[in-house]
Amino acid sequence: MSVPLLDLVAQYQTIKDVVLPALQSVIERQQFIMGQEVGELECAVAGLLGVRQAVACASGTDALLLPLQSMRLQPGDEVITPSFTFFATAGAVHNAGGTPVFVDIDPSTFLLDPAAVEAAITPRTRAIIVVHLYGQMAPMESMLALAGRRGIAVIEDAAQAIGARQRIGGEWRSAGSLGLAGALSFFPSKNLGAWGDGGMMLTQDEALGARLRKLRVHGGAKQYHHEEVGTNSRLDTLQAAVLLVKLQYLSRWNAARRARAARYDHAFTGHPAVCPPRVDPANEHVYHQYTIRAERRDQLAAHLKSRGIGHAVYYPVGLHLQPCFAPLGYRQGSLPATEAAMASVLSLPIYPELTDAQQDAVIAAVREFYA
Ligand SMILES: Cc1ncc(COP(=O)(O)O)c(C=O)c1O
């Protein structure tokens, strides 16, 4: 049995009877830019995640870039980020005029290590981008405490973590709701995916929310009047219509991902060559990815390929080793936990529509390799 890494067609089959009329309604009104669905989606996401302002934009990349631009970084200003993340996290820092400072991760969760962050803080540090990688929140209490003491902003890259939660002070808090700003991505493969690009900025700060609303339309609240220089970064009404429908399924889908993860955990716990991902007990994970650490990872990947089992390496090269960041002076050995993860991680198929039979085929193929 072949099992794809992701099956968006299977998801489409379950929702098409609701999504297609929603799209037709937008088409009949011809309100493609900032139509009513955009505001409705912003309200719905703000309510769901417990934030005061949710501002839709064109991509998760822009959802990181615009809050960083709002900080008016000066040359030499530093922004701490993990290296073990998607490129956009650090690309946004560069494009906002700052310098990324890469720090290492906790090898068991793949999340930013607070001690490494603290050690990297300098008088030039303006912000920390905390990435909630694979759908699990990084330790926010420590991050907020160490940033707060020094007046440094925390920006949450929640592109992979919509709906993820963490227990802080006895209360559940959502990914993206705790920092100065949070960024969501609606890239089609995400837990809440559009039918194209899309993103959203989250903040509890009303003034920042108003500013982000301006920055996404060339920096002016009133058309043809510009208080600052922004850009064109809006979410299409058609995408908002798709997302509004899908949002109703999100908590069910995230719960289904957790159930799949529990099945994988059961299969791999105690395996001599495969290490399931560790979940911090304070966290409710949404498993954008189910990522194991595996001995002889590349040979395992080749074996899965030969059996028709989808898999991927997120991420084979840390950002500190990317050629475009070579001038920053990192080299092999700079971030040992990141480099160990690059060599050992493997993500397996996990999505709500995955069947027991498909998942059993994945587990069997992994076991077969090490038998
Ligand atoms: C961790 C992370 N940050 C940022 C992004 C950027 O999002 P987008 O592809 O919507 O620009 C992504 C997704 O691709 C991501 O996974």
- The residue whose CA has the least distance to atom 12 of ligand 1 is 159
pLDDT 10s digits, 344-361? 999 999 999 999 999 999
Strand 125-131 with 153-157, pairing: parallel
Which of 87, 185, 236, 315 maximizes ligand 1 atoms within 8 Å of its Cβ, making it the mutation to test the pocket?
Answer: 185
- The parts of the chain modelled with pLDDT lower than 70 are none
Distance CA 354, CA 257 (A): 9
The model's pTM is 0.98
Does any ligand 1 atom lie closer than 6 A to the CB of residue 88? yes
Does any ligand 1 atom lie closer than 6 A to the CB of residue 85? yes
pLDDT 10s digits, 187-202? 999 999 999 999 999 9
| Cα 52 to ligand 1 centroid, rounded to whole Å | 23
CB-CB neighbours of 33 under 10 Å: 11
pLDDT 10s digits, 4-55? 999 999 999 999 999 999 999 999 999 999 999 999 999 999 999 999 999 9
Distance CA 87, CA 65 (A): 12
| Cα 186 to ligand 1 centroid, rounded to whole Å | 8
Does any ligand 1 atom lie closer than 6 A to the CB of residue 203? no
